[in-house]
Chain A
């Protein structure tokens, strides 16, 4: 049973790393929390490889949790200045004005 918990913890921890890297925001909590839970379950009354493995997974999952919380608190959602897009907007308005003029509208 402890092996099952360890495998589940590993699976969720892997997904949590992916979600943390991707800009999923607090959605990353969904795999992180089960990873921590299964790692703790695997750790209880374990020794040897299982204990070592579950501690490692717990450490990784907890790190992901801290990273996600840090990103939510300190990284603001913002739009990068896109010169190409700004230029496109200006040209589009110019083109439209010229066409309205030529259509006699």
Chain B
């Protein structure tokens, strides 16, 4: 009976997204932007994980940084840092931080998740810091943890066209997100070589993402589900992130 209960628990955990994200993982991407029809490499994007401990809990620290290549620094320097501190088992966020500096435009945000409430602290440019509390759903993710949460979905069991819904919080607002499985494709995955990948489309009720099936992620079709390629369509244009190196997964 005990074994049966344990088996059921594992089955439920996998279906609901038991995290297989490891501490020490490092994924490095080259970010390109479409200029007059040609993809021009602008920046390096790095996704890293490490463990952070408090006296009560262990957290998985997910960090995403974007840094312009040195040739662009003189013209438009980007130093962006997005972080999420999550439960290592279910990737539920406890804290989200955003600290961006893009061509001199600076913005800082911090969300502390306490149950179904978020205590947000926002600082933009030289304006004074503002604070805001708002309610969220029980399963709301932030923009960093959602990328890792996607990797826990069992796409092997999905049919093309099948969707799954999430809710994220961004710019102090909850935004519904729909993830659609579009099939499998072979994609160059940097140091991993050419890999079969799950092609997934992301759509959200927000002005931040444009077009239908224009925001795509290719996840390697293995247990790690590393994002090998990400294509995006945003108000200022289109671009992509191509995986260069993956380690520690």
Q: Which residues of A does B touch, CB under 8 Å?
A: 22-27, 30, 75, 77-80, 82, 85, 88-89, 92-93, 96-97, 99-101, 103-105
Which residues from B are CB-within-8-Å of A27? 35-36, 38, 40
Tell me the dominant secondary structure on chain B's binding face: strand
Q: Which of A78, A89, A104 is B69 in contact with, Cβ under 8 Å?
A: A78
Q: Is the CB of B99 within 8 A of A92?
A: yes
Q: If A85-B67, A103-B112 touch, does A96 touch B38 (CB 8 Å cutoff)?
A: no
Q: Which 6 A-B pairs have the closest CB atoms?
A: A23-B71, A80-B70, A101-B54, A77-B69, A79-B44, A79-B67
Which residues from A are CB-within-8-Å of B41? 25, 77
Q: Does B127 contact A (CB under 8 A)?
A: no
Q: Is the CB of B71 within 8 A of A89?
A: no
Q: If A27-B40, A79-B44, A82-B79 touch, does A99 touch B112 (CB 8 Å cutoff)?
A: yes
Q: How far in angstroms is the closest Cβ of chain B from A43? A: 28
Q: Does B105 contact A (CB under 8 A)?
A: no
Q: Which of A80, A93, A104 is B56 in contact with, Cβ under 8 Å?
A: A104
Give residues of chain B (42-89) contacting chain A, Cβ–Cβ below 8 Å.
44, 52-57, 59, 61, 63, 65, 67-73, 75, 79, 81, 83, 85
Q: Which residues of B does A touch, CB under 8 Å?
A: 30, 35-36, 38, 40-41, 44, 52-57, 59, 61, 63, 65, 67-73, 75, 79, 81, 83, 85, 94-95, 97, 99, 112, 114
Q: If A77-B41, A79-B69 touch, does A24 touch B95 (CB 8 Å cutoff)?
A: no
Which residues from B are CB-within-8-Å of A26? 38, 40
Q: Is the CB of B70 within 8 A of A79?
A: yes
Given A80-B73, A89-B81, A100-B57; 7 other pairs, CB 8 A cutoff:
A26-B38, A27-B38, A27-B40, A97-B52, A99-B112, A100-B94, A105-B54
The tally of CB-CB contacts under 8 A between chains A and B is 84
Most buried by B among A75, A78, A97: A97
Most buried by B among A77, A78, A93, A103: A77
7 A-B pairs with C-beta separation under 8 A: A23-B69, A27-B35, A30-B38, A78-B69, A79-B68, A88-B81, A93-B61
Which residues from A are CB-within-8-Å of B44? 77, 79
Q: Is the CB of B65 within 8 A of A89?
A: yes
CA distance A95 to B54 in the complex (A): 12
Which residues from A are CB-within-8-Å of B79? 82, 85, 88
Closest to A97 in B: B52
Closest to B80 in A: A85
Which residues from B are CB-within-8-Å of A104? 56
Which residues from A are CB-within-8-Å of B99? 88, 92
Q: Is the CB of B70 within 8 A of A92?
A: no
Q: How far in angstroms is the closest Cβ of chain A from B232? A: 19
Q: If A77-B41, A103-B114 touch, does A92 touch B83 (CB 8 Å cutoff)?
A: yes
Q: Is the CB of B97 within 8 A of A22?
A: no
